[in-house]
């Protein structure tokens, strides 16, 4: 039998220790979501429930149902719009190279890093004037606009890898700008569309600041705001809070499990969070 | 300029412009016009719910630096940056090196470490409120159960360590991200260089110190910028976890103060001034970074 090297054993102990630390808050979220009030009193958070119940999950869902649907709606639509516009801009910046392209790129790059506080007051005024305050439409417009800056950058980087000779060949055949986009660029865009869409979906889904300033009423309230309210009002019922967090985390957890490698590519390509 | 008007505005040019026009209008208005508008608000006398645009000059900015709550928030923001940014970089680098040691299950460990980064701050703040709860929360009950009672603490209810607790939790959330950036950097170093160094007798920690780490400047810089900007505009996490407390303002930061002043106290001009200052602080980091990366792109 081969005797394992003590250094390797220590390495694995470290790796497992960190895995424990990184998973601990999520583990206790899950255990607590399945506990009755009785089990919360008679077990400590890291222990599994004595008699698992889905009661807290049902209570939390009843409170969060409408906000979850709201979030799903504006996140899906704003993801679609910001990806489409970003793709068109990326194409324009790399393959048309119109005058002012560099200036546009610089203005969009600064937009990526913009602390949204710096536009929040006039944004609320604009949305009220447009009649989009407290509405799904307002959130779609906001998330699409501030999403365009990053999606443009990402598509620009992807399209930079498509050889110009391909475009030239199509041009000699008499294809116009729009035809080239539809016939050549779009069919080559499946991978960037998945990467950018996964990144946009999670970052719009996770937003809190726009939600809490633009849609605090129930008509359009996002799940992030509903969860923050839940924490504020039911300080005692930890099981319902944890169940609410679990519901709100669910779509992102599914994306992480199923499309994780695309999300990671998105993070690598220039994830700017918050 | 020898092009005639007619040639500049050919049909082709107009079509091309139509491609980017919707985005230019949206970004132009919602980013740049609104930044300008916010600056105008910051030099006005607007207090209360009715907008007022009487320009009174930079008085708000002077008031800011005489306001103890603003100074506390600014100090907290700086302490948070000083603790959070180096810790996340160091832990991320450490994890990246651990994962680089030809281990089994590398992908599983990587996905576990990165998972918190994908979650919303409202979620992670809710989880950490449960972790830190002094009476029935995860950490204190766990210490009690494994015989480490002396480590029990008030955590976020203790004004002396509340800010450190916030930092610990966001390091937990971000070090997976810095690990990812450093891992990619390590993987891009050619195998031949590592082998040459090993032939020269560099091993283990020495190999990293002499060969690997010096080549991680580019990933370190981009991670640094992301962490700095996040630390300046940190809002959701603190709003949900501590609300700025305990003991009044122990975990107040600039974005939280901006939100409270503007949307709860309706001091719009004052809030706008804090927001403008925040924007300037972000520019101080972003502009040199964009300049550096555009030069690198040209090389």
B143-168 pLDDT, tens digit per residue, is 988 888 888 888 998 899 999 999 99
User: Which domains does chain B possess?
Assistant: 5-42 (no CATH), 67-298 (1.10.3720.10)
B284–chain A nearest CA distance, Å: 11
pLDDT of residue B3: 44
Question: Taking chain A, what is the end-to-end CA distance rounded to the nearest angstrom?
Answer: 52
Hey, is the C-beta of A63 within 8 angstroms of any chain B C-beta?
no
pLDDT tier for residue A274 given thresholds of 50, 70 and 90: very low
Phi, psi of B55 (to 5 degrees): -80, 120
Q: What count of residues does chain B have?
A: 299
pLDDT tier for residue A235 given thresholds of 50, 70 and 90: low
Question: Number of helices and strands (H, E) in chain B?
Answer: 15, 0
Q: Which chain A residue's Cα is nearest to B260? A: A213
pLDDT of residue B6: 45
User: What does the mean pLDDT of chain B come to?
Assistant: 88
* pLDDT tens track for A49-66: 888 899 999 999 999 999
* pLDDT tens track for B10-36: 666 677 778 889 999 999 999 999 999
- What is the domain partition of chain A in residue ranges? 1-53, 55-268
pLDDT at B4 over 60: no
Hey, is the C-beta of A211 within 8 angstroms of any chain B C-beta?
no
Contact across the interface for B98 and A18, Cβ inside 8 Å:
yes
Looking at beta carbons, which residues of chain B come within 8 Å of A152?
23
* pLDDT tens track for B33-87: 999 999 999 988 888 777 777 788 888 898 889 999 999 999 999 999 999 999 9
The residue whose two tokens read 């169940």 is A243
Distance of CA A153 to the CA centre of its chain: 17
Rounded to an integer, what distance in angstroms lies between the CA atom of residue B213 and that of residue B181? 13
Contact across the interface for A274 and B236, Cβ inside 8 Å:
yes
**Per CATH, is A55-268 categorized as 1.10.1740.10?**
no
* Range among A152-156, A236-240, B56-60 rated most confident: A152-156
pLDDT tier for residue A40 given thresholds of 50, 70 and 90: confident
pLDDT at A171 over 90: no
pLDDT at A222 over 70: yes
This complex has an ipTM of 0.91
Looking at beta carbons, which residues of chain A come within 8 Å of B38?
118-122
**Weakest mean pLDDT among A116-125, B19-28, B93-102, B205-214:** B205-214
pTM of the model: 0.91
Looking at beta carbons, which residues of chain A come within 8 Å of B98?
11, 14-15, 18
pLDDT at B1 over 50: no
Q: Which residues contact A214 (CB under 8 A, 6 or more apart)?
A: A123, A124, A127, A133, A134, A138, A139, A142, A220
Give the count of alpha carbons within 13 A of A217, CB side only.
9
Nearest-CB residue to B38 (from A28, A44, A122): A122
Phi, psi of B162 (to 5 degrees): -60, -45
Q: What count of residues does chain A have?
A: 274
**Weakest mean pLDDT among A167-171, B133-137, B157-161:** A167-171
């Amino acid at each position: 039998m081969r005797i394992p090297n003590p250094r390797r054993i220590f390495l694995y102990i470290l790796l497992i220790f960190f895995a424990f630390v990184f998973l601990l808050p999520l583990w206790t979220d899950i255990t607590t979501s399945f506990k009755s009030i009785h089990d919360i009193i008679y077990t400590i958070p890291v222990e599994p429930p004595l008699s698992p119940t889905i009661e807290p999950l049902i209570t939390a869902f009843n409170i969060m149902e409408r906000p979850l649907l709201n979030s799903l709606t504006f996140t899906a639509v704003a993801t679609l719009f910001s990806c489409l516009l970003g793709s068109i801009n990326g194409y324009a910046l790399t393959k048309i190279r119109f005058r002012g392209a560099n200036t546009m790129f610089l203005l969009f790059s600064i937009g990526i890093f913009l602390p949204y506080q710096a536009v929040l007051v006039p944004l609320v005024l604009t949305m009220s004037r447009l009649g989009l305050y407290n509405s799904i439409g307002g959130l779609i417009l906001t998330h699409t606009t501030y999403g365009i800056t990053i999606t443009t950058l990402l598509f620009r980087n992807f399209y930079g890898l498509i050889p110009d000779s391909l475009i030239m060949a199509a041009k000699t055949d008499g294809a116009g700008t729009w035809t080239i986009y539809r016939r050549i660029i779009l069919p080559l865009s499946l991978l960037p569309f998945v990467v950018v869409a996964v990144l946009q979906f999670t970052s719009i889904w996770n937003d809190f600041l726009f939600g809490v300033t633009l849609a605090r009423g129930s008509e359009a309230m996002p799940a992030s705001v509903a969860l923050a309210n839940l924490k504020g009002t039911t300080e005692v019922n930890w099981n319902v809070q944890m169940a609410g967090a679990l519901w709100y985390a669910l779509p992102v957890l599914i994306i992480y499990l199923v499309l994780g490698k695309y999300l990671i590519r998105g993070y690598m390509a220039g994830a700017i969070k918050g | 300029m020898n092009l005639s008007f007619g040639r500049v505005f050919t049909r082709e040019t107009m079509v091309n412009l139509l491609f980017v026009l919707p985005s230019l209008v949206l970004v132009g208005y919602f980013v740049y016009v609104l930044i300008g508008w916010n600056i105008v608000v910051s030099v006005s006398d607007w207090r209360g719910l009715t907008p007022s645009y009487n320009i009174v000059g930079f008085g708000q900015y002077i008031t800011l630096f005489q306001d103890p709550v603003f100074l506390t928030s600014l100090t907290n923001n700086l302490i948070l940056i000083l603790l959070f940014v180096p810790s996340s970089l160091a832990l991320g680098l450490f994890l990246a090196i651990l994962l680089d040691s030809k281990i089994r299950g590398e992908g599983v460990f990587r996905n576990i470490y990165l998972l918190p980064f994908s979650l919303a701050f409202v979620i992670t703040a809710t989880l950490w409120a449960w972790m830190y709860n002094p009476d029935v929360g995860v950490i204190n009950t766990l210490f009690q159960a494994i015989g480490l009672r002396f480590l029990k603490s008030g955590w976020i209810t203790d004004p002396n360590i509340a800010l450190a607790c916030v930092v610990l939790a966001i390091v937990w959330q971000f070090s997976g991200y810095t690990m990812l950036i450093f891992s990619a950097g390590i993987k891009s170093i050619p195998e031949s260089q590592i082998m040459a160094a090993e032939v020269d007798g560099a091993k283990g920690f020495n190999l990293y110190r002499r060969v690997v780490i010096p080549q991680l400047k580019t990933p370190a810089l981009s991670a640094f910028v992301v962490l700095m900007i996040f630390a300046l505009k940190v809002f959701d996490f603190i709003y949900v976890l501590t609300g700025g407390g305990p003991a009044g303002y122990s975990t107040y930061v600039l974005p939280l103060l901006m939100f409270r002043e503007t949307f709860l106290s309706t001091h719009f001009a004052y809030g706008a001034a804090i927001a403008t200052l925040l924007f300037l602080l972000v520019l101080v980091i972003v502009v040199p970074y964009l300049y550096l990366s555009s030069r690198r792109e040209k090389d």
